Structure 1
Amino acid sequence: MILGSRRHGARFGIALANIGDLNMDGYEDIAVGAPYEGNGVVYIYHGSVDGIKYEPAQIIQAENIDPQIKGFGISLSKGADVDGNHYNDIAVGAFKSGHAVVLKSHPIITFKPTLNTSTRSVSRKAFNFSCTSCLSYTGWSVPDTVDAKVTLQVDLSFGRANFISNEFRRTNTHAYNITLRRGKQWCKDLRVQNTQQIVYRTEPLLLAMTYELTNNPNKVQPRGPRDSAADEFCMECPVLDSAQSTIITTMVAFETGCRSFVCTPDIKIDARFMGIEETFILGEKQTLGIRLEVENIGEPAFFTRVNLIIPKVTPVVEIPSICYDLSNQDRKETYVLVCDIGYPLEKNYTMDLVMSMKDVPAGTKTLTFKVNVTSAGNDNNPSDNHKELVLPIVIQADMTIAGIPSQDQIVYMTKGNTYIKDLTLSHTFQVWNSGPSTVETAEIEFQIPHQYVLPPTQEIFMRVLEPQLQTSASIMCTPVMGFSFWNPSSEIPTIDPNLSDGEGPDDDFYQLSNRRPPSLSKRSVSNTENREENFADSMPKVSVPDDAPSTSNFSMPPSKRTLFLNCTDPKVDCFTVKCSGGPFLPNKTQAVINFQLRPDFVVLESQLQMKDIILFSSMGTVTIRDPPDALQPQGHKPDYADVHTRFLGTIPEGSVATWIIVLAVICGILILLLIATALHKIGFFKREKKEELKALKDAEVVTNEEEDCTDFQADVISSDEL
C-alpha cells in the first residue's frame, strides 16, 4: 500500500497513471497525483520484482515548477517520449490555474565503483599499503562522457592513517574531479601510511569512497514564471539512479597474534532486566535497568561491539563513555546504541544500562530490547551472539472514591410539627488515583434517590442540581436519559463543604462530619437518646462493601423508626449521573464533585407513617475506561462510596388498643404463676434456718426430760436402800 504524505484532504490517488519504465530497470513505474496537497503534488513510484516500492522515488511539487500553478496533479497522461531521448515523459493537468505541465525525463546512469587494498591486515606498530579506487558508469541512451567527483577517506574516526602522494600533502581525505567515458573504467592508486608509532585501538581501518555527478540537472534552481522551459531543460544530461548508494567502504584489520590470520573468538551474550520479576508496572518505577554480560571462551576478540536496539520511548538515562548513538531519521520507533567493549575482549565483560520509563505510553503492552555482539574475527558459535528481551507492561491503577455529606443529620420538623421549607444539603464525592500508573480516562457514576414510583404516578422527593466540579483534569458530567438537572428559579442557600483542590486526596472524606445540626431541639435529642435500641439483626437495605471508607462517626438509626431512601428499594427511582474524563496522574490529580440537593418532605409524608427518621443514601462508583486493560492492585482502596444524611422529625402520637392491654395483663399473670411454680419446685420458699432452729429446740427439750427422769430414778433407789 502506498500512502503519499498522508496529509488530510490531499486527495492522494485521485489520478493514477502507468508511465512505463523510467529508470530502465525492467519494471514499469507509476505516477500518482495529489492535487489538494498545497498547490498540488505528483509522486513517482518505481516498480520492482516485488511490485511497487512503498517509498516514492521522486516528489514533484507545483511550487517548485511555477508558484502560479494550482491544482497540480488532477490528471495524468501515460508515459511517452516527446523529446526523443528514449525516456518517457508525462503530462500533468492543473485544474485551478488552467495549466498543463509536461514533465520530461533525464537519462539515468548507474555508477560501478570499486575500492580495493593491497592487504587485508596490517601491523599495529607500522603499516604502508596501497589503495586503488575505480569508477565507471552504465545506462540506456546515456552520453558518451560524464563529469564526476570522487572523494576518498581513511580512518576519519580515529586518525591513525593518512594518504601519501607526490601530488598533495598527507591527509586522510582526498577529492578529485574526473571525466568518465562510457564503457571505460577510471582508476586511481594511493598509498596509506600510519600516523602513530603504536596503534592502541585495533578497530579496522575504514576506507570510504563517495562519488557524485558534477553536472547533475536535479541541482538546477526552480525557474521563474517567465523563464522558458525549453531553454532550461537538457534532455541529454544524465541523473544518477535514485536507488543507488553513493558510497562504498572497505576495512583493513590489524594483526592480532591469533593462531590464524583471522581470530576465532567464541563470544556469547546474556541480558536480563534488573529489579523486576515478571512484569513491569508502569509508573511504579521511573527507570529500568538492563545488565549485559559478554563472555569470550575463545581467542581474543578485537573490535568487539555490543549493538542495542532500544525503543525510543525508553531512552538511556546516561550513555556510557564507550557507547554512542547510531540512530537515524528512518528509525521512528527505536534507536541504536553501539558500545565498544573489547580492545581486545579476552574473557568477560559486564555492563549495566539504565533506561527512563517516564515516556512510555499508557497503552503499551510490551517493550522489546534487542542486543547482539560482534567482533572483527570469525565467531566459533554465532548463534549465542544475540538476545531479545521482551518486557511485559502492566497498567495498574487504584482509582478511589470517597464521599462526605454537608451535615450528618438535619432536623426537618419545626416545634409546631410543620416541615421546614427550603432545606438544602450537599453530598460531595472525591475521586483520585492512588497509582502507580496513570489513568487516561475514568468513568464515575452517581445514583441519588430521586422519586417514588407509585403507579400510575411518580412523585419527586429529592431534586438534584447540576454538580459543581473542582479538578485539574478534564471531566464532563451528564445525567442519563430520562433525567435532567433541576434549575431553581431563585438562588438557593448552599452549605459550604470547604472543598480543596490540592494535589492529593483529603483524609476528611474517609469519615463523616462530627457536626451536630444547629437547629436540633432538646426534645428531639432526648427522644433520640432515650429510644436507642439494639437493631444489629435488622440492618437497612444499604449495600456497603467490606472495604468501604471508614465512617466511624456514622451509626445506623433504629430501623423501626426509620424510612430508608436508597437505590436498593424497588419503589425508589434513582437519579443517575455519569462523569467521564481524565487524565488522573498518580497521587496528583483529583476530582471533587459536589451535588446540591433539595428535599420535598410533603411527598415523603405518606411513606413515613409512624416513623420520624429518614436515612437518605446516595452512592458513587468509579471505573477505569482507558487504558481498558488496567488492573487494580491487591488490597486496593474502595471504588465504591455511600454518603448518608439523617433527617430527624417527631414520632406521631397514638393510643394503645384495649384488647392489647387485657392480653398483656393475662400474659403477665400467667408468666407470674409459671415463675412461682418453678420457684416452689426448686425450694425457693423453704426457710432452712428456721427449720434448723426448731429442730435444735426440740432436741433440747428431749434432753431435759431425760435428765429429769434420771434424777427421779436415783431418788427412788435411795429410798429403797434406806
Structure 2
Amino acid sequence: MTAYHLGKYSIFCLYCLLHHAILYNLDIQHAIPLHGQNGSFFGYSVLLHKHQQHTWVLVGAPFANSKFNQSVQKPGVIYKCNISGKKECEEIQLGVMSDMNCGTNCFADANHQWLGVSLSRREQDGLVLACGHRWNVFYNKSKEKFPHGICFKLAANLIQSSTLIPCYGDDPNDYASCQAGIANVLFGDLIVMGAPGSMEWTGSVFVHNTSSQVTITKLENSDDVLFGSYLGYSVSAGHFLYADSTEVVGGAPQNGQTGSAYIFSTKSSTLSIIFEVRGEKIGSYFGATVCAVDLNADGLSDLLVGAPMFSTVREEGRVYVYMNQGQMFSPPKKSKTFPQANMKALEFTLAGKDSYAARFGESITSVGDIDDDGYPDVVVGAPQEDDLNGAIYLYNGRKTGLEQEYSQRIPASAFGNGLKMFGQSVSGGIDVDENGYPDVAVGAFLSDSAVVLRTRVVVVVEATVLLPSSVNLTQALCTEKGRPAVCFNTTVCFQLQAQRFSGLIEMLYNLTADVKHKEGLQSRFYFITNGTAQLNSTAGRIKTKHGQMNCVNHQAFLKRDIRDIFTPIHFELQYELGEHTVSSDNSRSFPFLRPVLQRSEKHNNLLINKTVFARYCAWPNCSTNLQLSAQLLLPRRHRDVPYVAVGEGKTFLLNVTLSNAGDAAFLPMLHLRYPSNLYFVKVLNAEKYVSCKILEEPTTPGLDCSVGNVILNPLDKVNISFLLDVSLDSKPGDLNITINASRNNFENEDILHDNVVNLTLVLRYGVNLITQGFVAPTAFMFGDFEDPHCTTKRFNFTFKVVNVGPSISHGTRVEIVVPKALAPYPYRLLNILNIQSSSGWCYIQNSANGTSDTPGKMFGSKRNSTTDIFWSNMTTTIDTYWTNRTSTTPPNLVNTTSRIDTYWTKKSRTTQLDRKIMSGTTETNWNITPYSVDLGKDTCDLPDSNLLDDLFFHFAKKTKRHIYCMKEDALCIQAVCELGDLDFGTDATIEMEVEINLGVLDISPGRTRVMLLESTAVALPKKDPFIWFLQEEPITVVVQEGLHIHRIKPVLKLFIIVASSIFALTILILLFISLSKCGFFKRKYKKELEDIQWQDWDSK
C-alpha cells in the first residue's frame, strides 16, 4: 500500500476521470464491427447466440440474396458471425425455398420474403427462431398472392431447421395478409409471433406451444381490438400474474390512432386480455415496441412500451414504463374470468436526449444485468437520431424500477461516420468474452453493419471515511508553524469486490473538508499538502485487491477565527479507479478492458461523513439569551426632541449594545433595516471581530453585521457605534430603523422579545430665520407751527431676512405692521408709498377681516393687473395667521405662536391706558372703538389746538408717547411679502417707503414731547407639521423717535407777555395797598430819629 499527496494536478486529473466516467461500462474503444452485403439491410435484426464453447452474432439481412437459393430473388439471409479470431460472417443453410409447398392446395413464393425481419432465442436450450413476414402463397382457386409469413426454427447448433407457417389454412380469408413473424419471441414452451395483417389488419398474436403443439390465433372477444389496429406489430412474453405463469404481450400501434398494448392470458384456446394501456397522442405509434422485463427483480415482469413517433416537434419518441404491482384480483375457481394484471405507470417517461426525429423507442431490449447490481438493464434504440446515424441509450434497473436518466449514451458517431440506423435492433444477455458480464450487439442496417459492444468488469467499492465523534475546540493536540492547533485524523478506507478479476487495483481519491459549511463563510478545516500549502482538499492513491481493505490517514486542521461551530463538519470523499496490474495471458481472445466502478443507488463514487464540535451548556437546550438595546445620537435637539434637519448633510450615530445572558451564542448577527434615504458610512469605535455587509436590495436596504469571534460567550457584551448619513434630497418625516439580533443556535421563544429594537429617526425641516430692520432717518422733528397741516416726511424702511438653516425655508412669508393713525383721531398718520422685495412679491392689507384700504394693491410682483382680485382674496392679518393654527401645528410653531400672542397681549394691556395717560384726558373723554374709526378725512384739514392747550403743553412736564400696534388693531397697516423658498444661507431684502403726516402728531390732546413710532416685522415659513421654527423671538421691531420742536406760537407768546405784565402789575398794586395799610408810608419815626441825632451833637 502506498499513498501520497498529488496536489492540484492530481485533483484536476481526478475530475477528468470522474467526468469521463459517464461512459460507464459498455466499452466502445474495443468494439467489434461486422459488415454484410451492400444493400442487404444487414443488421436489421441481431441476436447474440451461444452453443457449447462457440459464440456467434446472428444477423438478419432481409434484402440479401442466398447462395443456397440463387433462383429466389432476395429472400433474405441469416448470417452467423464469429466475434473472436477471424471475424467472418457465414450464411446459415435453411433448406431449398424455391419448391416449398405450404399445403395440399397452395404454392409458396419466397421472393422478397424479408427473412431476418425478426430473430429470437430461447434461453434454456438455445432454440432460434428466424422469420420472414412477407413470404407469399398462391391458392389454386385464386391467382392472388397472400403474404402469410414464414418462420424457421433453428437448433442451438444452427444446423437443423424446420419451418413454421402459422397462417396457413384452407380458408385464407381471415389470414390472407397476416404477415406472421414480423415480430417474434421465444419464452419457455411458447413461440410467440405477431401477425398484424390478420382479420383485415385488425391483427393478432399467434402463440404456439411447443409442448402441446397447440397454436392460439384468435382473441376471446374480437371486438376488444379495433379494425386496422395492427395487433402483433410487436410481441413479448413474461410472468405478469404469477412468478410461474406465462403471459404474452402484443402491441397494436394503430388502435384508435393512438396505439395500444395488451397483455394476454393463454390459459384457454383464445387470447384473453388481462391488461390494456392506450397511447396519449394520435400518431405516436404507441405499441410499436414492447418489452417484458423484471426491472426490480421481484419475480414479476414489468412492461416497457415504445411510442417512437411521439412528437413535440417531430418524432422525438418516448418509452413508457409500467411496474407490476402484483395480481389485481383472483376470480372464483369455476369462473371463466381470468385474473387481471396490476400494472402502474411510472410518473416519468424515457426520452433519451429528446432529439429531433430520433424515433427513440424504435427498439427496446433487455440486455441482462450488465452493471452487476442485481437488477436487469435495458437498452433503447433511437435509430434515426443525428440525421439517421442513430444512437442507443442504456437504462439501469433499480429496486424502484428504472432510473429516469440514462447511464450511458452511445451514438453511431462513436465508431466513425459510416453507421446508419444504428440502434434499429439490439440483442444482449450473452457473455461473448467470458468476463462474467453480458455483452450487447447493435445493428445498423442502412449501412449493412452491426457492432458488438463488450461490457467492462464492474468493481464494487466499499469506501469509508472515519471521523471522531466530536471535535474539542479547547484541545490543541497538534502544532502548525510552531503554534498550537486543533486537529484530528480522518481515515479513508477502501474494500473492493470484483468478480473474475485478479491483481491490484489502484484507487484515486479526493478528500474535501467541510463541504457543507455555511454559505458566505469559508471552509473551517484544511489539509497541509506539500509541507506548506493549506487547502481544504487533499488527493491520494491507494492500491488494493479483491476482498482486502486498505486505509490511509490525513490530518485535518482547524482554521483560526472561524465563524461557525454549530454546523456539522462534513467530509466528502470522491474516488475513481486508477491504474491496475493484471497477469499476462497469451490465450486471451479479446483485449483486456479496464474495470469501472459500479454506479448505483448505493454506490455513486461519492461518500460523505460528518462530525460536530463538542459543546458544554448550562441552560436547557443550550439556549442563548441575547439582549439588545440601541440609542440614536442625533446632531440637533429642539424642545427636548432630538432630530435631524433635512438637507443639513450631517451624520448621526446609532449606538447598539448586544449582550448575552444565556449559553454561548454562535455566530451572533445584527441586522439593521432602514429606509432607502439613509446610508451606512462606517462602524465607529467597534470592538474586535465586527464585520458588516451592505445589502444591495433597493427595497430593503440595510446591514448584516457579524459580531464577535464566532461565539458570544455568556455574560459578554459588545458595544457598536454605526455612523449613518441622511440623503440631502430626503423628505421630512419619521423614519423607522429596526435592529434585530440573531444567532445560529437555539433561543427560547419566550425570551425573543428583547432581540428586536425599533427606533424612530425624526427628520424635520429646521428653519431659523433672522430678521433685521432699519429705518432712515431714525429720528425726526415735528410740531413746527409754521408748517402747513399736510406737511409730510418720508422714511425708508429696510428689512433683511436671512435663513441661517439648517434646512430650506419653504413658503417664507414676512408680515410687517406699522401704525397708521393716532388714537382717537380719524386722520391718517402714515401711508406706505412703496414696498419691494428682492424675491417674491408684496401686498398690503389693513383690517382684521381681511379687507384692504387699497384692495389688491401689490408691489414688486411679477404678475399683471389681472391678478389683483386673486391677491385681494389672499389677504390675511398676522393675528389671523397665528390664531388659525390647529391642534396639528407642531410644538415649535405652537410655542412661537404663544410667544407672539404674549407679545401682543402685553401691548394690549397697556395700550388703552397709555393712550389715555399720554393724552392727559380721563377715560370719560375717550370713546375709542378701533374698528369704527373713520380714516377717510382729509389729512390736510387738521384741527388747531386752542390757546389753553398750547399753554398747558408748553409748560407741562416732558413726556413720551409710545405708538404701536396691538392685536387686531384697525389703526395699523399690515404689509405682507411672500418670499417663497429660501435656501440655507440665502437672504431676502424688503425695501419699504412710508410717508408720515407730521401734523397728526401735533394734534392735541394726545401729543407729547417725544413720540415713538414702532413698526413690527415677523418672518415665518409656511404652515407645515414637518417644519420646525427654531428662533426664540421671531419678531423684529423698528422704532422711530419724533421730537417736538417746542417753539412758541406768536399768539401764545403775546398772550404770555400780556398775561405776565398784567399779572405783575396786579401784584405790584396789591403790594402797595398792603404796605399802605400797614403804615409803611406814614414815617412816625423820623422825628425820633432827628431827636436822637441832635442829642448826639449836644453831647459832643
TM-score, with normalisation over the residues of structure 2? 0.29
The structure whose Rg is larger is: 2
- Which has the bigger relative contact order, CA under 8 A and spacing at least 6? 1
TM-score, with normalisation over the residues of structure 1? 0.42
